Amino acid sequence: MIESRSKLAADASHTKDAFHRGRFYLLQPAAKGHRSGVDAMILASVVPNDFAGRVADLGAGAGAAGLAVLSRCTGSTAALIERSDFMAAFARNSLALAENSAFSARAEVIQADVTLTGKARVAAGLGDNCFDFAIMNPPFNQPTDRSTPDPVKAEAHVMTKGMMEQWIRTAAAIVKPGGSIGIIARPASITDLLDALEGRFGGLIIVPVQPRPQDAAIRIVIKGIRGSRAGLSLYPAVVLHHKTGNEFTERAIAINNGLKSLF
């Protein structure tokens, strides 16, 4: 199991979910808002095991990806950056859990809109060149896709015009030269992402994520280095499940449970 779930006695609208085989826990909304799972664990795995810098989790939600980095990379610090009042509260409450006390002092929640620019961005706590790594799982649904009645979930999932450009622009501003970016997205977003990354991040590595060996990719992971002029590489896919059955592959288990990084 990647995560275990139990209802909080105080509020049935929340769940308390174990990740990395219980090395950290997350409070998440049960009925509305964004819930994190495999995508967040794959995103966190882009950060190397020996990372000892400051990571920005852009659009952090309840903080799954950022906390997964802290759980695996013991010398790292993290900023969980989230615009929604509703989801930022879950991130703060997750950090306050006793089960997360081993690394909660290495994390902070910054409530800010990732699309802010200039002085407004800096005033919100996203200063220039102040992070070593930025990770992001941007909204991936098109506005024309079937919409959800949940406004919090819609905000987390629906991509507005120019959003990829705005998120990558912010990442390029806050990451130090030579620092890195990690992104997980749907394959349909690849053109917008590559356009936004051009001139900002280079040495790009793209890793497809396939449900099974015979299936088309349902996600892509992109890693890049700010200011690099190196070319693009396409790496072998991460395959989540075997050809038949629902069991995870050995590599997927290791990534989901924070036992190894993607690269």
Three-state SS letters, 219-238: EEEEEEEECCCCCCEECCCE
Domain span at 128: 4-256
Query: Does 261 reside within a domain?
Result: no
Number of domains making up the chain: 1
- Angle at the Cα of 79 (from 57 to 34), degrees rounded to 5? 45
Query: Does 262 reside within a domain?
Result: no
- CATH number for the domain spanning 23: value is 3.40.50.150
- pLDDT, residue 159, reads 65
9-50: per-residue pLDDT in tens?
A: 344 588 999 999 999 999 999 877 778 899 999 999 999 999
CA dihedral sign of residues 25, 30, 34, 38: positive
CA dihedral sign of residues 137, 143, 148, 151: positive
74-117: per-residue pLDDT in tens?
A: 999 999 999 999 999 999 999 999 999 999 999 999 999 999 99
Q: Which two tokens stand for residue 92?
A: 């703060």
130-145: per-residue pLDDT in tens?
A: 999 999 999 965 555 5
CA dihedral sign of residues 141, 12, 58, 204: negative
Which DSSP helix (H) or strand (E) runs through 75? none
Query: Does 221 reside within a domain?
Result: yes
